[in-house]
Structure 1
Amino acid sequence: MSSTLHQPSLFPRPAPTLAVPAVIDAALRGGADLALSLSAGKDSQALVYLVAPWFRAQGYPGRCYVVHADLGRAEWPQTAELVERMAADVDLPLLVVRRPKGDLIARFEERLEATRASGAPFWPSSASRYCTSHLKAGPIDTALRNPAPFWPSSASRYCTSDLKRGPIDTALRSAEVVISAEGVRADESHARAKKPAVEVRSGITASSQQAARNLAMMEPEAALAARQPGQRVALNWRPLLHFNTEEIWQACGTSTADLQRRRRLYAAGQHEAALLGWPCHPAYVFGNERLSCAFCVLGSQNDLLNGAQHNPELYAHLIELEIVGQATFKNGWSLTQLPVTGEAARLRDQVLAGKTLTL
């Protein structure tokens, strides 16, 4: 009987390189615009710091700029200034886009009102036996079958579609051939590992009933080859797809070890020393594993707790929305369950005592 011994590799991992498919190079050499999406998280920061100098070194003739979707009150308060600094670090113009009808908190409130206005009952009762009438005796009523989602969820990520993708799509329409570069990495999740390095951004690519002109349904190479003047081709590009976390930190000018050291300092109350010289978003030093808005419905309890401790007024307002909308922030899990302390706990208790706060 034989066995296989698993030993560390004798050869170090090769230095990471940008994933640049031939179709991306061809599009850029043809004058395509390149928009670098920046949220201020580590992956998008690494994207900007690595791709901007690479773009200049290639001598491409088109425009390269940074685009940031501002979520308003839902953002960490440090994000806006950091985005400006990161774009300035690579000497690229910054385009900040926003949802015209209001920020993410306003969108939460709109969805809440829409849900309440529908008047659709939630649980069946003796007076409203929709479990029988709609699931056995007749078609399901539209209002009951598809109640307007209140909070976003993994199945209804309107926070992304309405506040990020939509406003960014509007900005990208300024060019006939445009590439949106994103800091997506394969080791973040199984779903992201399956994503290609490049694909057509179908929502703003020319479509048609005629298959030969329906660029939105083609592969990137075919769409560019079939494009006629006046037709738009937009591509999503993921140049960091095969970078690991340590390589991302290094691209940002730090390391996992440095982050851990700073977290220990911050936890010990040495806040100024912990943040001195830190090149990335401070939320990571606070303890966040990932960065999006201050409260993400897909975030871990750890990250939500950090968001609450450092943004107590926003935390309390979201609890108000839970109460008014009679729906918890996560499915079956309320923000009130976070083990907050200090100002966050005080404001939470005020809300639970029936006192109204204003954000």
Structure 2
Amino acid sequence: MEDTSKSFGPAFEVPAVILAALQAGADMVWSLSGGKDSQALVIVGAAWFRLMGFPGRQYIVHADLGRAEWPQTAAFVEKLAQQVGLPLVIVQRKKGDLVARFEERIEATRATGAPFWPSAESRYCTSHLKGGPIDQVLRNPAPFWPSSDSRYCTSDLKRGPIDGALRSAEVVISAEGVRADESRERAKKPVVEIRASITAKSTVKPEENLASMSPEDALAARNPGKRVALNWRPLLNWSTEDIWRACGTSSAELEKRQALYRNGHHHLALDGWVGHPAYVFGNQRLSCAFCVLGSKSDLLNGAQHNPELYAHLIQLEIIGDATFKNNWSLAELPVTGRAAQLRDEVLAGKEQANG
């Protein structure tokens, strides 16, 4: 079967191991967050899969983060799934959404009773730096908000629930709209790798420990009843303009619509727009309405358009005694309107409680 991927973009990368797995009937799962990269992935990927005539199933999976999502995301992903004609599987964390996870982390952190700074009663700086053993809780207190070093929002709310959806096939490929020019860390990621979390493991027989093998070796060594899951990043080397073109628009078109929106022409700015509305609102990238890795500009945009959630997260900062981002509080955002009103009410309540 000839690989026709070159007709779908500048570098729609299809490693031989992916092609072989799909020709053998592997399930193809397109991950859709609602952002432009995953949108391009779904549009291009679904058409390519159909053109190739692979025998396996293809479908879309979306991890719903609940209250942390932009309100428009649910309708957007459903519309896109209908547009490309694929089944949409929506997964959620069973114990609650991302905001609930924040609240759980607050309670877990407070329950340890571990102080953050050293004090006369807790001189862990002395015990740790002068040779004595130190309690692990003091040395590494559980983080409250997610961070670049503790991305539990991804592991608990996305990767874990998506793993559950992927378990229905013995050979499954999870495609992600990850691009190298988004960050240095993403640039280091391979185009294809084993998804070790749900690939068959064995501590007794190395020859059956598929999770530790290369994708090629794992597929060759796999026996019926044993699962091999692969992560695939076909858009790794695409540019932002490549992405917008695949979505049916351009950066220039987006800039025009953003200008219209800023000038108060909201309906005109959004009419006929093919991407997620948050981009027209002004977002540079799209994930949660409030992402700890997002720019201050995106956080401000999230606050202006989601004032109730914004106020609730400030309340969590106060309750958890920890700022949202790098010792910088969400309350410092230069918000206006409803967001400013709710922020001030939360801060006034804090002053009264301390008063």
Q: Please indicate the TM-score interval, normalised by the length of the shorter structure.
A: over 0.9
1:205 corresponds to 2:199: yes
**Paired AA for residue 334 in structure 1:** S
Q: Which amino acid aligns with 1:352?
A: L
Confirm or deny: 8 A CA contact 2:260 2:266 kept in the other structure. Answer: yes
Q: Which of 208, 213, 222 is the matching residue for 1:218? A: 213
3-state SS in 2 of match to 1:354: helix
Counterpart in 2 of 1:259? 254
Aligned pair partner of 1:279 in 251, 274, 277: 274
2:216 match: secondary structure: helix
Q: For residue 230 of structure 1, give the secondary structure of its aligned residue in structure 2.
A: coil
| Distance in 2 (alpha carbons) for counterparts of 1:48 and 1:132 | 54
Structure 2 unmatched ranges of 5 or more: 1-7
After the TM superposition, which residues 223-234 of structure 1 pair with which residues of structure 2 at under 5 Å, given as runs? Answer: 223-234=218-229
Letter in 2 for 1:300: S
Identity over aligned residues, as a percent?
73
CA–CA distance in structure 1, aligned partners of residues 345 and 166 of structure 2: 44
Are 1:309 and 2:309 an aligned pair?
Answer: no
1:34 and 2:28 matched: yes
Residue aligning to 1:324: 319
Distance 1:191 1:133 in 2: 35
Match in the other structure for 1:352: 347
Structure 1 residue runs of 5 or longer lacking an equivalent are: 1-13
C-alpha distance in 2 between matches for 1:242 and 1:142: 41
Instruction: Specify which of 117, 121, 139 is matched with residue 115 of structure 2.
Output: 121
The residue type paired with residue 149 of structure 1 is: P
1:40 is paired with a residue of what secondary structure? coil
State the Cα distance separating 1:352 from its structure 2 match: 0.1
What is the Cα deviation at residue 17 of structure 1?
4.0
Residue 4 of structure 2 corresponds to which residue in structure 1? none
Distance of 1:109 and 1:280 partners within structure 2: 32
1:219 and 1:129 mapped to 2: Cα distance? 47
Structure 1 stretch 183-192 or stretch 302-311: which is displaced more? 183-192
What is the CA–CA distance in structure 2 between the aligned matches of 1:57 and 1:51, rounded to whole Å?
A: 10
SS in 2 for 1:154: coil
Q: What is the distance in 2 between the residues matched to 1:245 and 1:273?
A: 24
CA offsets, 1:209-262, max 9 Å, x none? 222111111111111000011110000011111211111101111111100000
Select the residue among 161, 169, 194 that pairs with 1:167. Answer: 161
CA distance in 1, matches of 2:326, 2:256: 35
**Number of matched residues?**
343
Residue equivalent to 1:182: 176
Aligned counterpart, 1:7 = none
CA shift digits 1:155-214 (9 cap, x unpaired): 000000000000001110111000000001122122222222111111111111222111
Matched to 2:146, the amino acid is: P
Counterpart CA distance in 1 for 2:132 and 2:290 is: 40
* Residue of 123, 127, 131 corresponding to 1:133: 127
One-letter amino acid of the structure 2 residue matched with residue 65 of structure 1 = Y
Task: Pick the aligned partner of 1:70 from 55, 64, 68.
Answer: 64
For residues 25 and 322 of structure 1, the distance between their equivalents in structure 2, rounded to whole angstroms, comes to 48
- Cα distance change on mapping 1:232 and 1:15 into 2, 3 Å: closer
CA contact (8 A) 2:116 2:141 kept: no
TM-score (ref. length: structure 2)? 0.94
TM-score of the aligned structures, taking structure 1 as reference length: 0.93
The answer to whether structure 1 residue 81 and structure 2 residue 72 are counterparts is no
CA RMSD between the two structures: 1.4
Deviation at 1:139, TM superposition (A): 1.0
